[in-house]
Amino acid sequence: MDCNGQSTCVDKSESHNSGSLYCCCKNDLCNKNFYWQPTLAPTTIVNVKKTNAFSSRNIEKLRCLIFTLSLSVLIVLKIIFLTRKPKRILYDEVPSLKQSSESALNLEFPSNLVPCSLSTEEKFLSLQLIEIKARGRFGAVWKALNKNKSEILAVKVFPLKEKQSWLTEQEIYKLPQMNHDNILQFIAAEKHVVDQNVEYWLITAFHELGSLHDFLKLHTLSLEQLSYITYTTAKGVMHLHEEIQPEKLQYYKPVIAHRDLKSNNIILKSDLTACIADFGLAVIFYPFKSYGDIYAQVGTRRYMAPEVLDGAINFTTESFLRIDMYAFGLVLWELVSRCLFNQESVQDYKLPFEEEVGLNPSIEKLKELVVHKKGRPVINNAWKQHPGLSLFCDTIADLWDSDAEARLSACCVAERISSHSRTLSLKIHSIQHSLSSTVHFSTNAV
By annotation, the residues acting in catalysis are 260
Render 274-305 in DSSP notation, one character per residue: EEE---TT-EEE-TT---TTS--S-S-GGG--
CA dist., res. 237 & res. 65, Å (int): 65
Residues pairing with 152 in the sheet: 145
In angstroms, the Cα distances linking 235 to 90, 161, 171 are: 35, 33, 21
DSSP per-residue codes, 315-371: -SHHHHHHHHHHHHHHHHHHHHHTB--TT---PPP--TTHHHH-SS--HHHHIIIII
What is residue 107's three-state secondary structure?
coil
d(C-alpha 369, C-alpha 58), whole Å: 83
Tell me whether strands 127-135 and 140-146 are parallel, antiparallel or unpaired: antiparallel
Residue 172 CA to residue 169 CA, distance in Å, equals 5
Contact call for residues 270 and 435 (beta carbons, < 8 A): yes
Nearest in space to 156 (alpha carbons), one of 168, 144, 171, 174: 144
* Dist CA 18 CA 84 (whole Å): 68
- The HSE-up count of residue 201 (CA atoms within 13 Å, CB side) is 25
Residue 65: which H helix or E strand, with range?
Answer: helix 41-83
Q: Which residues pair with 198 in a beta bridge?
A: 193
Torsion of Cα atoms, 409 then 411 then 414 then 417, to 10°: -60
Do residues 254 and 174 make contact, with C-beta atoms less than 8 angstroms apart?
no
